[in-house]
Each structure stands twice: as C-alpha cells, then as structure tokens.
Structure 1
C-alpha cells in the first residue's frame, strides 16, 4: 500500500476523521487537507496517532479505513498492513495543478493524476468555438480582412478569459488584452499630438505610388526590348504592354482619389481603433495597404491566369501528341486516343505556337508575381507582428521574474532517509521550477487565424494559381 499525505497532517497530534481520494487501483490513497474540493471517489477513514481501541472499533462498525501511526514516527499502517509514505507539502498540488496537469501528465502517480483531473475541468483545454467561420460573410472577412482577424482574435481572447478554468491562462489572457490596449492608448496619444500628420502621410503616399508606377512602367519598357537578351514575340509583348500601361493609368487615378479622400478619415478611424487596441489599428493599416495595392493584385491575376491557361493547354496538347487524353467521366484518368493525320497536324502546330509564346508570357508573369509576392509577404509580416501583440507574455514574465510558487511543474520523487523506518519507506514528492518557455507554452493558446505555407506558395507560383 502507498499513502500520499501532506506533512502537516502528520504533525497533528489529534485523531481525525478524514476523506481519502481513492482511484481504486493498486491500494494507493491520497490524503490532503483540501481533498473535499475535488470530485474524486472518496473513502472515509480515521487517522489515529495512537493505538486507540475506540478508533479501531469505530472502523470495524462503520467499515472505515484505519490509518495508524506508530509511536510518533512515520511508520504508517492501513488496516494493520504496512504502507509506504509519500510526503507532500501543504497545498502543493493545488498550487501546481495547471502546469503539472498540462505538461507532466505521464510522470504523475495515479492518485495524484486522478485528483488533478477531477480538480480541473477538462473543457478548460478547449479553445472557444469559432462560430464566425460558419457564416459566409464571416468566413470572407476573416480570409481577406486583417482588421476582421484582429477583432475576432480579441473576441476569442475575451471568450477564453471567461470560459477557461485554468487560472494561469485566464490571467495570461487578461495580460495579453491589457498590453494590447495600453499600446493602443500610447499610439492614440502619439496620433493626437500629431493630428495634422495625415497631410504629410498623404503626400508621402502619393510620392511613393508615383515612384512605384514609374518603376513598373520602366520594367514593362524593359520587357518590350529583349529583356536579359531573350528574343520575345514582339506583337504579343506590345499588346501586353499596352494593356498594362492602360491599367497603370487607371491605377494612378484611383490612388490619387483614394489618398485624397480616404486618408483624412482613415487617420481619424485609426485614432479610434488605437483606443480599442493596437492590433485593431495594425489590422486597419494592413487592409489599407491592400486597398492601395489592389491593382498590383489585378496585374498579377491577369498574368497568372494567362500563364496557367497556357501551361494547361501545353500539357493537353502534349498528351494528345503522345496519344493520351484525360477522361473527365473516369476521374480524369488518362485513356488512349489515336489522332488522324489532320488532328495530329493541328495539335503539333498549336503546341509549337504556344510553346514559342510561352517565354513572352512567362516574363510578364515572373515580374508581376515577384511584385505581388513581395506585397503579400509584407502584409503577412505585419500580420505576424499583430498576432504577437495579442500574445505579449506580461503575466508569465511577472511570475517567472518574481519566482512565484505556482510555476513549479516538474515532479520529483526522492527517498527521505531521515524519516524512513525499517517497516516504512518515506518519499519526498516535490516540484522543480519550470523554464520561462514552458510557462509561456502552458499559458498561451495560439490563435491560428491565418496561415502561410511557403510550400503551397511556391507550388502555386509554379502552376500559375492565384495566391492571396
């Protein structure tokens, strides 16, 4: 038999009626002063410090366990059977229950593990149900609007603070929200002190967009005249150049109207959003960047669709040239298909034409894909900074720097030779301190509102699929 017991209970000189946590396995019992707080299966017992006949008779009549301590030593008998003793500090499990339960579940004795499972509600590990994803409008906003992602992230943090049964995680979420709001107040104060700054920002945006349009025009002119020594199809290159020049002209007018009319109101909206949280302001800035670069996305989509369409045609024509074709009625499997002389001539001619037009289209696709990839990576970098601001470890750093007693998490069992006897082996059960990284992982519930897979990004670029 094994008895897990707090040292303070052994120091008491009075006989007590106690309730033990019993998991029903291996004759292991847990006896702590706060055992009534958990929902474990209880066994009533009498803890007798002396050999009292009254205690023994009561146990026989009421069928209670009799825990007897021999002569003020730690030799413990449970129903006259010797038991090993594991000594715990007072409230040791309650202080460390969260970190121990999350990180060290496999290293705990069964009575302590059952006690912690019943002490902590299992639904505390569950993240809030993102019901906004279930609506069409909500899914669209979360996919394309960084401001919507930031607002939804703050909502999830509030919901976690309300519903989470882990005290560490509740306090950590409160710390995240307070840091977010305090940084927002600081930025709003800066904006208030420089409220006329929007005129300077408008002028700077106009200057930078003009430089950008000039650079894109110079790149297109470079593509028109044998770029990198490549001999391109001149009629196709001239047609694409005129097409993009016209859209650049439209984009310049769109940017001028957008900057002049929207920036003053956007500056005021940004001031209000800073009062609600710095992450909302950063999300609004990301959305405004996307509005400014919407025509860059259009340029990329035009080139990507044309490149993807040409790649697919080349693959289909090459399969026909080899006597194969896709069967859409059989899950697009490849079936044999014999072409006659006329069909084979048309297939060969079409394949040759599209193959020689491919370098011209690929050059435009490579240029505008590079420009849009840089834009989207910039926005994703700002999104990563925004998500980090929702997870600034203020509360964790406070606990770790002050050496709080509630951040001990690694269980350690050692033999207590001083208190052991010939009949009973005493163990000390303690918790070692945890590292700051472990503490941060325990307290932090990451919110994956956006994801960026570089492998999918690279494959999408190779296939000419659109990336957002």
Structure 2
C-alpha cells in the first residue's frame, strides 16, 4: 500500500491503520449470540487494536535508572539534577514514539527558557556581588535571631519554670556552636561567591538547576539549625528511652533485644531503688529538654517544608508533559481514551469510528516523563510518629 486517500486527502501509510473485517461474520455473530452489536468480540478487538496504535502510554519501568555508588555528592540536589538531565537525554534518544520524544524535547526546551529568564532577573538584581551580600546578610540575621532565641530559652520562656542548671548548660552549648557557625560563614565566603557565580551559568541549562542549587544553598545556610536539631533530638530520644526502660522495670518487665519483645524479669531491691532514682531524675529533666526539642524541631520543619516545596517544583518541571497537555486542549486523537464503532444504517453495513477524549488526569499520568522519579509522597503518620518518639526527620 503506497498511499491512502481519506475524504480526498492523501494520508501517508505510516499514519494510517488498515483494518479488514468480515461483514457477514459480524452480522452472524450478533444474530447467533442475540446481543447488542456494541458487545461484539470482533468490534472489541478492532477497538483494542486502534487504542494500541494511536494512544501510546509510556512505561516508566522500561527506562533504566542507573545505580551509582553512594557518596556525599549524591545528597546534592544539583548532582541529582545533572544525573536526571542525563537520563532525560538518554530517554529522548531511545524513545520509540513521537509523542514520548516530543514531550521530552518540549520539557527540556521550556526548562531552558525559564532558566534563561531567571538568569536575566538575577543580573537585574545586581549580579554576583549584590546577591552574595544579601545572602550573607540574611544568614547572619538568622544566626542573630537564633542567638536571641537561645538566650530567651535560658531564661523563663513563656513563664515556664525550667531546670536552670540544665537550661544554662544547653544554652551555652548551643551558643558556642552558633559562634563557630558565624566563623564558618566568614571562612566559606569565597566558596559561596563562586557557587553563586556558577549558578548564573548553570541557570542557562534550566530553571530546575537553579532550584536545585537554591536547595543546596538552603542546606548549607541552615547547617547549624540541623546540628542543633540533631543534638536536641538525641537528648530527647535518650530520655524517653530511659523513662520507658525504668517504667517497665517497675512492672517486672524488660526488653529482650534478641527476640524483639518484652519479657518478664526479676529485679532486686537495689536495682529497683536505682531505677526509681533514674526515673525521677529523667522525669524532672524532661520538660527542659522537651522545650529545646520543640523549638529546634519547629526550625527543622520550616527548612524541610521549604526544601520539600523546591523538590516538588523540580519534579513538576522534570515530569509534566507540556506537549500532551497541548494535545489534550485541542482534542487531538493521539490522546484518545477509547474508541467506539457506530453502525450507519443502510444497504451497506458501514462502521463509523468515534473517538472518546481521555480524562485530563489520566492523560497526564500516561504521558509523564518516564525517566523522572516517582512523585515524592510524604507519609505524615510516620513523620508524626518520628516527632513524638524522638527519631530524626529526614528530607520530605
């Protein structure tokens, strides 16, 4: 078959699907089974063939995700985004469908255009020097506010009567680390200047790289907050663990780590006295530790929410199929959800093919970038359990 003429228009053979069906077989099938013509097995098979031909959905599991050795650079969002861009280019070269390759191409082009616009806005703000000064001023301002917060906790915060010696020890410990952080900021000033200068160049390869770099800068600027959170969380977790262990001891029970269960146990009077002393001491120290833990937990959650928002924006840029979105808006048959056959009454049994538009959400899910990772869902119940039990909360 060299050419196909439909309604007087010549259609290339590669864009057409030739289907031969037996009119007598279809009619006899309907009559013999005494069922509606829409339930005909022959017509259902024809519809399935057309769906496979015209509605291409990308299989995300067929795109290789190369394993890389674990290193400190794997925690950098810029490195992860560079790796993601390499996977996108590889998926674009290996794509066997026009829809998939066009979606990937449009996605990368739009990312480049947005990155170019961001670089222009960056230079309009004064360039590297001006942005560096604003960034360092913001970091030092946050450190000053954090110092005031720690000094406030060392006093009588919100009228709470805390354990004064423990609060003083914790406050001086955190203030010393804050002083080290301010010194660290002055040391890394040339490094930050280089990073910001590189960001103006990296922005030319996409807005997603700018967001990834911003996430890394937030991680670097909030390193002291993360250290304070780890210290407070470990102290709070150890206190809770000690309270649970001593409380079980009063009931004649103990934790068996070999079988991961609670067994019965016998304790002497001296052991019970020591356990009572430890339990009372930890219970009296718990309110002070809890106040510090809640404050630094709130700071940690604010940083994680900001980084989680940037992470999801990067995922949207790397995954949303802009070309498929345009096809869905104009009602292209390339995103048809289903096909139906209508019988036109007459001497000749003629079938009319009817396209059914695919729902918006389903069409976007089918056309998502196959090289992008899965959407980063958050298990809020698990996060809440980690907050209450004193476990570390990792990036959302």
Alpha-carbon distance in 2 for matches of 1:228, 1:280: 43
Shift in Å, 1:354: 0.5
Shift in Å, 1:148: 2.2
Q: 1:458 aligns with which of 356, 363, 384?
A: 384
Partner of 2:363: 439
Partner of 1:388: 316
Does 1:369 pair with 2:297? yes
Alpha-carbon distance in 1 for matches of 2:104, 2:375: 17
Alpha-carbon distance in 1 for matches of 2:391, 2:293: 11
8 Å Cα contact 1:125-1:164 kept in structure 2? no
8 Å Cα contact 1:120-1:166 kept in structure 2? no
Shift in Å, 1:170: 2.2
User: How many residues are aligned here?
Assistant: 371
Gap runs ≥5 in structure 1 = 1-7, 12-31, 36-44, 48-66, 68-75, 86-107
Listed as ranges, the matches of 1:413-424 within 5 Å are: 413-419=341-347
Q: 1:223 aligns with which of 141, 149, 153?
A: 153
User: What's the secondary structure of 1:77's corresponding residue?
Assistant: helix
- Higher percent of residues as strand: 1
Pair 1:377–1:315, CA change in 2 (3 A): same
Shift in Å, 1:397: 3.5
Does 1:404 pair with 2:352? no
Alpha-carbon distance in 1 for matches of 2:272, 2:278: 10
Alpha-carbon distance in 1 for matches of 2:159, 2:6: 90
Shift in Å, 1:120: 9.3
Q: 1:348 aligns with which of 253, 276, 279?
A: 276
Does 1:161 pair with 2:92? yes
Partner of 2:267: 339
- Higher percent of residues as helix: 2
Give the superposed CA RMSD. Answer: 3.2
Shift in Å, 1:444: 1.2
User: What's the secondary structure of 1:429's corresponding residue?
Assistant: strand
CA deviation map 1:214-249 (0-9, x unaligned): 222222222222322222111111100110110111
Shift in Å, 1:430: 1.6
Alpha-carbon distance in 1 for matches of 2:149, 2:70: 39
Q: 1:286 aligns with which of 212, 215, 218?
A: 215
Q: 1:296 aligns with which of 199, 216, 225?
A: 225
Q: 1:357 aligns with which of 285, 306, 330?
A: 285
- TM-score normalised to structure 2 length: 0.83
Shift in Å, 1:367: 0.6
Partner of 1:181: 112
Shift in Å, 1:366: 0.7
Does 1:246 pair with 2:176? yes
Pair 1:429–1:342, CA change in 2 (3 A): same
Does 1:109 pair with 2:37? no
User: What's the secondary structure of 2:340's corresponding residue?
Assistant: strand
Does 1:237 pair with 2:167? yes
Partner of 1:97: none
Listed as ranges, the matches of 1:15-30 within 5 Å are: none
CA deviation map 1:145-166 (0-9, x unaligned): 2112222322232233233334
Alpha-carbon distance in 1 for matches of 2:275, 2:134: 53
Listed as ranges, the matches of 1:70-81 within 5 Å are: 76-77=23-24
Shift in Å, 1:339: 1.1
User: What's the secondary structure of 1:325's corresponding residue?
Assistant: strand
Shift in Å, 1:309: 0.8
8 Å Cα contact 1:412-1:430 kept in structure 2? yes
Structure with more relative contact order (C-alpha pairs < 8 Å, separation 6 or more): 2
8 Å Cα contact 2:232-2:289 kept in structure 1? yes
Does 1:135 pair with 2:61? no
Alpha-carbon distance in 1 for matches of 2:174, 2:347: 86
Pair 1:463–1:124, CA change in 2 (3 A): closer
Shift in Å, 1:200: 2.2
Alpha-carbon distance in 2 for matches of 1:206, 1:33: 63
Gap runs ≥5 in structure 2 = 8-15, 32-42
- Larger CA Rg, structure 1 vs 2: 1
- TM-score normalised to structure 1 length: 0.71
Alpha-carbon distance in 1 for matches of 2:362, 2:347: 34
